[in-house]
Structure 1
Amino acid sequence: MTFDRLSRRNLLLGAAGLTAVSALSACGRAEAPVDESGRVRLRLAAGGPVTAAHGGFYQAIATGAYERRGLNVEILTGAAGADVPALLAASAVELAVGADSFAPMRLIADRAPVKAVAAFLQKDPVVLMARPDQPLETLSALRDRPILMSPADQAGFWNWLRTRFDLTADQARPGTPEDNLKALRDDPKAVLVGRLTAGD
């Protein structure tokens, strides 16, 4: 990766503003792709449907901030649960926005040709939610409770939580947001993994 390419990527992230948790960039390509106007073409995998967390990236397109810096940015979105790290590791995109700090750590552990280039929040916005009538003063109180989560959390946050607090694999209950909210409502002992910054 050339210094010029890395500098342009940093400009891209600066123009995007403080809108997401972490950004990763794919490494290993000899040259950055260029469009017919000579602008560096960057594909940004936002993952899932558009949310408020992506607003800064779209604002930078709308105001021409990327174009003024010689960038042609395309934001790729998709269904919830899209495998953004796989797109990045396979060099299908040049940049990706991660939902938490576990995505870059997993990719680095797997020796994927990527690097973290920005952390927009100083702390991970993962939260655990339980019904108000449940006495959960410490995370050790999670033992023997169903832990509701998105499938994406199973590979990252759940592995850390399970190992750190001696939880069991059968406590994990991956599901859709709708199914998880229903389970939280129906089961008084359930705990839901969520994001403080989620707008849905």
Structure 2
Amino acid sequence: MSSKKAINIIVATSTNYGIGYDNKMCWHIPEELKHFKRITTAREDIKKRNCVIMGKNTWYSLPKRPLVDRINIIISSADYEKISCEVSDSKDNIKVFKNIEEAFAYVEESDEIESAFIIGGAQLYNECLDKYIDKIKYMYMTIVYDKKYECNKFIAADVIFNNFKFEKKDVYNSELKYITMKGYNKGISYPRDEPAD
């Protein structure tokens, strides 16, 4: 059963679908970071905000946290109490949940949230692709190909390409560094209303 609100995945990968090395990104491309911010902050209703959903390692890897102009949702069962205490001063902008089901329920019930974006890491991406593919509306994917990167964290590319359709009109090639693509879930049968991006 698909979600009423748009729950999306946004990911940047190497050419072999690596997303990082030991919880760090392997590349730093300012234009791609701007693309990430533009997609995850764009909304139609200015009274609402989008949210970004991440695991604890992604949270701790952010150079500046929380990500501004978005509700930051952190998933951690093992460190739930610890992270909740660390972010207690920023409760309006940061939420902590023990699992992805709780986060999805919060997104669905919140009047404040327009769209949700799963932003990593590998465990969370792959859990969503494995167990919650029916909830994911759009896949925003960047493939960085300016050079080979050594990665030890990967996303399930076969699941992505089997379940999401990428159209040529939604592919952008940036100066031989990376391409960005937007795909829609083939299993969701409602009209493809375009999100503000």
TM-score normalised according to structure 1 size: 0.30
Q: If each structure's strand is expressed as a fraction of its own residues, which one has the higher value? A: 2
Q: Which has the higher contact order (CA 8 A, sep 6+)?
A: 2
Q: If each structure's helix is expressed as a fraction of its own residues, which one has the higher value? A: 1
TM-score normalised according to structure 2 size: 0.30
